[in-house]
Amino acid sequence: MNRYLLRRLALALITLWGVVTFVFLLLHLIPGDPVETMLGEGAKPAEIAAMRKSLGLDLPMLTQYGHYWRNLATGDLGTSFRTGESVLKTLRQSYPATLKLTLSSMLAGILVSVPLGVLAARRHGSGVDAAITSISLLGISIPHFVLGPLLIIALAITWPLLPVSGMGTSDHLVLPTITLATALAAILIRMVRASMINELDRPYVITARAKGLSGRRVTYLHAMKNGLMPVVTILGLQFGGLLAGAIITETIFSWQGIGRLMIQAIQSRDYPLIQSCILAISVTYIFSNFLTDLIYSLLDPRVRY
Amino acid sequence: MKYLIWHYRRLPLLSRIGVWIIMVFSATAIFAPLLAPYSYQSQELPHRLLGVSARHWMGYDELGRDILSRLIYGSRISLLVGIAVVSGSALAGTMIGAISGYYRGWIDDVLMRIVDVLMAVPGILLAIAFVAFRGPGVGNLITALVLIGWVGYARLIRGEILKVREFEFVQAVRAQGAGDRRILWRHILPNVIDPLIVQASLGMAGAIMAEASLSFLGLGITPPTPSWGSMLNSARNHVFEAPHLTVFPGTALMLLVMAFNFVGDGLRKVRLQSQT
């Protein structure tokens, strides 16, 4: 392993530690006595004491912190207040749905943005370029919770082509994917365009053209390999945006993923479940970022400084 | 004022449109009590969910309240939260970034690792976490957004200061016997104000969007205060029979966010041009 990757790994581990500590401290952010808040008014002192003991809140802070790490290491994320089930089990049921939604959105975003971005770069300064750039600006500005309901109104109510919400068939995946992928596609279009314009100006492109290669061949075979490199980095960063967007998108479309699970947990003040949802989403993001760095260092040997 | 007009004239067309949109929304927010045709709270339950009419330009919501009036008052929340979050984050971020960039050394290392960690997790998730445990409301919402927002400013200001502190004029002031604090606040900071304004403009768009997102999830502004995000949230249950509940607040939010993005983009372009 090279120095670049070691540094990235170190950062990922520090971030992981930071996130776990933050999530641990969340319980202590609750105003007043967390146990009284959890049990609500009218709880008997004995109940409060029992609850405090079961959560380990009667121990010194540092001991609690140590226990928290120990439990994490053994995969014990606590039990849900609402259902009484193990949090880990609940997470395992919702996690694949979120992964499916985010990955399909990422795929859709790439499939739409790369051709459009390259096209805009090739026709740099033309009407086509202006049209694509404007549409992408619109895509960046439209929030998920506006686009989602508008899509439902248009494609599920006015023209009933697709299901309004829920999960099951692949039809159910379409509207949430469009909702989540739009902002990503819009950002990627701008990135691909800027990067390709830069690349198409390079001397090697002019040489290839002078050799008699067709513009298309130079664009897609030569320039694209280099031009899409920065996009890989952005993809990793944007994955966080997708995960955050999934929280809202899942709520709109009743998609039984981790985002919706978290919002439901917040509504019912199911604190252990909220903590674990935040942890799961953050860890996924940290992991995907590290994966991006790994892929990037494989693609571009120059970063292995 | 002259400075502002000079800047405005150099902006691209889209950014100028953005400036006008922002001015219209700001005026709406300031004069809301004069402009709103009805109270944002008064309910006419028999008319609930009724569509657009001559007397109610945007129709009624699910409790029979006038949507236009709620939209007008909602602009106050959006802009207020935006301004509070941006000024709080910019102030904290500038101070931290200035200390980091000017003194360097171990303090810089520690502060920048904190920045790295905060940047390595989705900000809105941290904000959701904070509000989920502290409880909803304007105060907690603004605190949460400042806690994640300062990071961008800190990194920006640190970078700029690392650049500016090497300039000869800084050495000249130091040779004249000026202390650290004077050099930093009187001589270096005025030189990093331009990128700060760009960041603040884009930050307004981000903060307004974040407020609406959290309110949409029921974690931001609490009823009966009208916020576009919470209006969109309650509209969700009525998409079938009353799409206008979604369309109007959605459009307002998009326009305002887009306007700040346009202005930020334009200012950045002007800055890049003047540098080269």
Mean pLDDT, rounded, of chain A = 86
> Per the CB < 8 Å rule, is B213 touching A143?
yes
At A244-275, the pLDDT tens digits run 899 999 999 989 999 999 999 888 888 888 88
> Per the CB < 8 Å rule, is A247 touching B120?
no
Return the pLDDT at B276: 62
> Per the CB < 8 Å rule, is B121 touching A30?
no
> Per the CB < 8 Å rule, is B120 touching A30?
no
At A199-245, the pLDDT tens digits run 888 888 888 888 888 888 888 888 888 888 888 878 887 888 898 89
Return the pLDDT at A9: 87
> Per the CB < 8 Å rule, is B239 touching A149?
yes
> Per the CB < 8 Å rule, is B120 touching A11?
yes
> Per the CB < 8 Å rule, is B122 touching A263?
no
Return the pLDDT at B208: 93
* Residue from the list B121, B235, B239 with its beta carbon closest to the beta carbon of A19: B121
Instruction: Tell me if chain A has a CB within 8 Å of the CB of B209.
Output: yes
Query: Which chain A residue lies closest to B261 (C-alpha atoms)?
Result: A141
Return the pLDDT at A297: 81
* Residue from the list A11, A274, A285 with its beta carbon closest to the beta carbon of B132: A274
- B48 vs chain A: nearest CA distance in angstroms? 19
Return the pLDDT at B144: 93
- A279 vs chain B: nearest CA distance in angstroms? 10
Block mean pLDDT (10 aa), chain B, length 276: 70 88 93 82 74 74 81 91 95 92 88 85 88 88 93 91 85 86 84 87 92 90 85 84 84 92 86 73
The ipTM, to two decimals, is 0.84
- B50 vs chain A: nearest CA distance in angstroms? 17
pTM of the entire predicted model: 0.87
* Residue from the list A14, A23, A146 with its beta carbon closest to the beta carbon of B253: A146
> Per the CB < 8 Å rule, is A23 touching B253?
no
Q: Residue A294: which H helix or E strand, with range?
A: helix A271-299
Return the pLDDT at A112: 93
Whole-angstrom Cα distance, residue B249 to residue B58? Answer: 10
- Residue A85 gets which letter from DSSP? S
Report whether pLDDT(A178) > 90. Answer: yes
Return the pLDDT at A248: 92
> Per the CB < 8 Å rule, is A285 touching B120?
yes
A243 contacts in chain B (CB < 8 Å): 122, 125
A270 contacts in chain B (CB < 8 Å): none
Mean pLDDT for the stretch of residues A183-209: 89
Structural tokens at position A57: 């809140």
* Residue from the list A241, A271, A289 with its beta carbon closest to the beta carbon of B120: A289
In the stretch 79-108 of chain B, residues with CB closer than 8 A to chain A read: none
At A91-100, the pLDDT tens digits run 999 999 999 9
- What is the per-residue DSSP string for chain B? -HHHHHHHHHS-HHHHHHHHHHHHHHHHHHTHHHH-SS-SS---GGGTT----SSSTT-B-TTS-BHHHHHHHHHHHHHHHHHHHHHHHHHHHHHHHHHHHHH-HHHHHHHHHHHHHHHTS-HHHHHHHHHHHH-SSHHHHHHHHHHHHHHHHHHHHHHHHHHHTTSHHHHHHHHTT--HHHIIIIIIGGGGHHHHHHHHHHHHHHHHHHHHHHHHTTSSSPTTS--HHHHHHHHGGGTTT-THHHHHHHHHHHHHHHHHHHHHHHHHHHHHHHH-
User: Do residues A242 and A248 lie in contact, with contact meaning Cβ atoms separated by under 8 Å?
Assistant: no
Whole-angstrom Cα distance, residue B184 to residue B178? Answer: 10
In the stretch 216-255 of chain B, residues with CB closer than 8 A to chain A read: 216-219, 229, 232-233, 235-236, 239-240, 243, 246-247, 250, 253-254
B231 contacts in chain A (CB < 8 Å): none
Mean pLDDT for the stretch of residues A152-167: 83
